[in-house]
């Protein structure tokens, strides 16, 4: 059980007193056992042998009473576990008058209970941390007054002050210009995370910078942190099938023990040998190791931002060879991002997005934030718009730096549907499953902006790793259009794509899979909730997922990253493997001791001490489940910083690649002389901007990648691509140099166009592959 409970009301119901009484009770039993054994030894040394024997007998009897209580309790629940062996061993030592062996067995049982309690508390440390960090009060600003109020009195719309080192009490939007948060308690990420004014932040994270103000978006009871702790408490309440497996295994072990003990007594005629067999067979590894390994796995998962709702789910994660996965918000980022900018004749991509983003700063449209974010990624300065008017279903207009700007559909932005560039934008949007927004400046079309839902950088890598750990079938099931879904499925190498499915049809698809094998389902929306509830294991992307999906799911990923799905599977596999190892090793050693005791080589006292050693080995082995390798590769802070810098530079590289493709298009649509000049400018950008970036990556970052891959041969694919980029670049440079700029030959222009298209394709794919690899290097080595 968790040693605490979260409440957002005035009074937190503390269970610490109950917990301390329980810990005292557990250690009191151990203290009495130690005292009894010590008293027997002291009296023996003082020459009071008879008193010493009675002290040891009393200690043995105390252990027998404790064991009898456990056995009777289990029998009342119609369970016959391994505790009966311990009871018979204690009774046997009393019958044959081996009080020292009985006292050692009592010490073994009570110390085993204490060690189990300590190990479970250590394993639950991260889970308990979620509860103990819950704030009880918040500071709310009303005008110039700041009041400290109980947390449940914070209302939506209140301005909350969060001091340095304080836990953010409710979900909200940042009102300060820039803040720094420690999100490790929720996500497991070690580095502080920066946020800007207007960003949404979740409760439960810690202010790692200066005090800041927050606009409350939820009440405390509905906040992310309260929901997470409720999920943790629900997880702790679920029993583990692995523990029940241990009991089933134990029944067979009880039978074997009785056969060996009975045979030893019958053949030798010595009850002492039967008692020795029972002593060495006392099955603490079965009683202790499995629950400790399970709780350790749950704890490690919570530390990595993965809430697994109980040991039964932890075990089920290892038994599902099929995965059904939603597209939007799961395989993709779940929000639109600018994928391309198509300038109108006479327009410019940077000018188009700069004015559109400046105007959209005051828009509430779902696409507005994407345009603003993209402009900032391109390091474009944005101005504050004036005279802003938004027309529902059409677009937004206003004045930016004296220029009237319109952003919206084609008709609203004066984009003629018959114009070639408009038709090209529409064709590209249809082919890519993208949205298109048109921009006009002072009544003249400036260009079109394409937005799509991008595949997560870690999706392909995570799916490959899932196949490596036993996932045999990967199926995407989505409500999106078929052509978009099929494209993503092909890129990610999925076994099947089921598109245009309603929530009911998702459930049907899941049932079809479940007829063949146990199946996991991963999703994040309300439409995924029915399938998540029906799946053998339902997994919700909880960072932005709906309440419905997180409450019906068996596993909740608190970090907005698909890689945690792989980690959840690996943690469950490792925990189950360690649990079984602990049982098999412990029972194997016990069985060997039973045989030795049956032949008279292990007297009861030696067997009791040997069993204590076996217990310690099994428990320490079970605690290994607390340590599980993560998906990300641990690198130095310097390497992580380089990877982050090169990833940021890719924003500019992608802009250059867009220009490269547009230059190739212009060689067909524009006047030859002007088109050639644009192609020559593109070649200069390639030579002075793109290639130096590629050379610097190969020189500064590739050696570090090589170390992670175990040698330079792991980078052969990247280096081969660099070679092809150099070949095509030199070819383009020779073609451009050979053309007469005053009268370019159409044949030469066609060759240049082919080279530009080839370079665009190679560089775009190469950049995407690098970002996928770099995304796994952004976590520095732990200190």
- CA 719 from chain centre, in angstroms, equals 31
Angle, alpha carbons 121-631-642 (nearest 5°): 120
Q: Shortest CA distance to 400 belongs to which of 382, 385, 381? A: 385
Angle, alpha carbons 636-640-642 (nearest 5°): 115
Q: Can you count the helices (H) and strands (E) in the chain?
A: 27, 22
Inter-CA distances, 197 with 181, 212, 213, 215, Å = 13, 10, 10, 11
- CA 40 from chain centre, in angstroms, equals 54
Please give the Cα distance from 478 to 330 (Å, whole number): 10
Please give the Cα distance from 430 to 448 (Å, whole number): 14
- CA 656 from chain centre, in angstroms, equals 34
Q: Name beta bridge partners: 455.
A: 332
Please give the Cα distance from 620 to 625 (Å, whole number): 10
Inter-CA distances, 23 with 118, 131, 389, 590, Å = 9, 19, 66, 29
Q: Give the ranges where 77-155 is alpha helix by DSSP (H).
A: 83-95, 99-123, 125-132
Name the one residue in this structure whose structure tokens are 């999703």.
523
Inter-CA distances, 132 with 129, 154, 229, 513, 543, Å = 5, 20, 10, 42, 21
Q: Extract the tokens encoding 149.
A: 């109020």
Is there a catalytic annotation at residue 199?
Answer: no
Q: Shortest CA distance to 341 belongs to which of 477, 204, 446, 208? A: 446
Inter-CA distances, 359 with 337, 371, 593, Å = 17, 10, 80
- Largest distance between two CA atoms of the chain: 119
Please give the Cα distance from 492 to 462 (Å, whole number): 10
Please give the Cα distance from 257 to 597 (Å, whole number): 12
Contact 704, 635 (CB under 8 A): yes
Q: Extract the tokens encoding 358.
A: 């400046």
Active-site option among 158, 326, 458, 615: 326
Residue 375: CB atoms within 10 A of its CB come to: 23
Q: Name beta bridge partners: 436.
A: 450
The DSSP-derived string for 436-470 is: EEEEEETTEEEEEEEEE-PBPTTHHHHHHHHHHTT
Q: Shortest CA distance to 294 belongs to which of 624, 631, 554? A: 624
Identify the burial level of 543 via C-beta atoms within 10 angstroms of its C-beta, where 0-12 means exposed, 13-18 middle and 19 or more buried: buried
Inter-CA distances, 159 with 134, 137, 219, 742, Å = 19, 14, 12, 65
Residue 737: CB atoms within 10 A of its CB come to: 9
Q: Extract the tokens encoding 605.
A: 């006292």
Which are the catalytic amino acids? 326
């Amino acid at each position: 059980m968790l040693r605490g409970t979260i409440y957002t009301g005035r009074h937190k119901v503390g269970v610490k007193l109950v917990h301390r009484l329980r810990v005292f009770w557990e250690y009191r039993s151990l203290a009495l056992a130690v005292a009894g054994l010590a008293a027997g030894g002291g009296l023996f040394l003082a020459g009071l042998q008879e008193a010493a024997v009675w002290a040891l007998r009393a200690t043995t009897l105390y252990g027998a009473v404790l064991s009898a209580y456990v056995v009777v309790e289990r029998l009342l629940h119609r369970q016959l576990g391994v505790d009966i062996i311990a009871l018979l061993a204690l009774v046997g030592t009393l019958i044959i008058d081996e009080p020292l062996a009985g006292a050692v067995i009592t010490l073994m049982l009570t110390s085993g209970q204490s060690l189990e309690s300590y190990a479970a508390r250590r394993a639950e440390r991260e889970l308990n941390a979620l509860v103990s960090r819950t704030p009880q009060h918040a500071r709310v600003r009303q005008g110039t007054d700041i009041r400290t109020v109980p947390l449940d009195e914070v209302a939506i719309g209140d301005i909350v002050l969060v001091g340095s080192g304080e836990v953010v009490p409710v979900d909200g939007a940042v009102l300060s210009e820039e803040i720094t948060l420690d999100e490790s308690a929720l996500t497991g990420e070690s580095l502080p995370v920066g946020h800007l004014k207007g960003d949404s932040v979740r409760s439960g994270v810690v202010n790692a910078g200066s005090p800041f103000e927050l606009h409350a978006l939820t009440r405390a009871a509905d906040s992310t942190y309260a929901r997470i702790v409720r999920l943790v408490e629900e997880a702790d309440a679920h029993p583990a099938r692995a523990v029940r497996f241990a009991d089933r295994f134990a029944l067979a072990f009880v039978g074997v023990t009785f056969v060996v003990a009975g045979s030893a007594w019958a053949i030798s005629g010595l009850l002492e040998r039967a008692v020795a067999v029972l002593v060495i067979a006392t099955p603490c590894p079965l009683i202790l190791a499995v629950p400790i390994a399970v709780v350790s796995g749950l704890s490690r998962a919570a530390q990595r931002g993965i809430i697994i709702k109980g040991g039964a789910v932890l075990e089920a994660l290892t038994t599902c060879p099929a995965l059904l996965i939603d597209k939007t918000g799961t395989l993709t980022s779940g929000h639109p991002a600018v994928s391309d900018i198509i300038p109108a004749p006479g327009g410019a991509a940077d000018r188009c997005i700069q004015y559109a983003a400046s105007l959209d700063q005051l828009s509430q449209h779902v696409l507005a934030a994407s345009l603003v974010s993209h402009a900032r990624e391109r390091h474009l300065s944005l101005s504050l718009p004036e005279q802003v008017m938004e027309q529902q279903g059409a677009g937004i207009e206003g004045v930016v730096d004296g220029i009237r700007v319109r952003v919206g559909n084609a008709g609203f932005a004066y984009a003629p549907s018959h114009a070639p560039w408009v038709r090209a934008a529409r064709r590209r949007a249809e082919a890519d499953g993208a949205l298109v927004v048109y921009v006009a400046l002072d009544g003249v079309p400036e260009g079109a902006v394409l937005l799509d839902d991008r595949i997560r950088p870690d999706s392909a890598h995570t799916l490959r790793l899932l196949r490596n750990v036993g996932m045999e079938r990967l199926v995407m099931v989505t409500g999106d259009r078929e052509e978009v879904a099929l494209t993503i499925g092909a890129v990610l190498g999925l076994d099947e794509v089921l598109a245009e499915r309603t929530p009911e049809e998702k459930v049907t698809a899941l049932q079809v899979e479940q007829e063949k094998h146990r199946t996991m389902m991963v999703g994040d929306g309300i439409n995924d909730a029915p399938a998540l509830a029906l799946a053998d294991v339902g997994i919700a992307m909880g960072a932005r997922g709906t309440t419905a999906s997180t409450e019906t799911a068996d596993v909740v990923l608190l970090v907005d990253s698909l890689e945690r799905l792989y980690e959840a599977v690996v943690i469950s596999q490792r925990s189950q493997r360690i649990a079984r190892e602990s049982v098999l090793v412990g029972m194997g050693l016990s069985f060997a001791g039973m045989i030795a005791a049956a032949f008279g080589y292990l007297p009861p006292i030696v067997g009791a001490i040997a069993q204590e050693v076996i217990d310690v080995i099994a428990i320490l082995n079970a605690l290994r489940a607390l340590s599980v390798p993560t998906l990300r590769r641990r690198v130095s802070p310097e390497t992580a910083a380089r990877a982050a810098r090169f990833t940021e530079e890719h924003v500019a590289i992608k802009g250059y690649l867009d220009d490269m493709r547009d230059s190739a298009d212009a060689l067909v649509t524009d006047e030859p002389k002007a088109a050639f000049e644009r192609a020559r400018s593109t070649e200069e950008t390639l030579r002075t901007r793109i290639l130096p970036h590629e050379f610097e990556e190969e020189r500064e970052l590739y050696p570090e990648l090589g170390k992670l891959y175990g040698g330079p041969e792991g980078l052969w694919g990247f280096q081969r691509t660099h070679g092809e980029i150099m070949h095509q670049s030199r070819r383009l440079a020779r073609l451009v140099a050979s053309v007469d700029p005053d009268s370019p030959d159409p044949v030469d222009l066609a060759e240049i166009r082919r080279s530009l298209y080839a370079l665009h394709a190679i560089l775009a794919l190469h950049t995407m592959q690098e970002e996928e690899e770099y995304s796994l290097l952004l976590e520095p080595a732990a200190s």
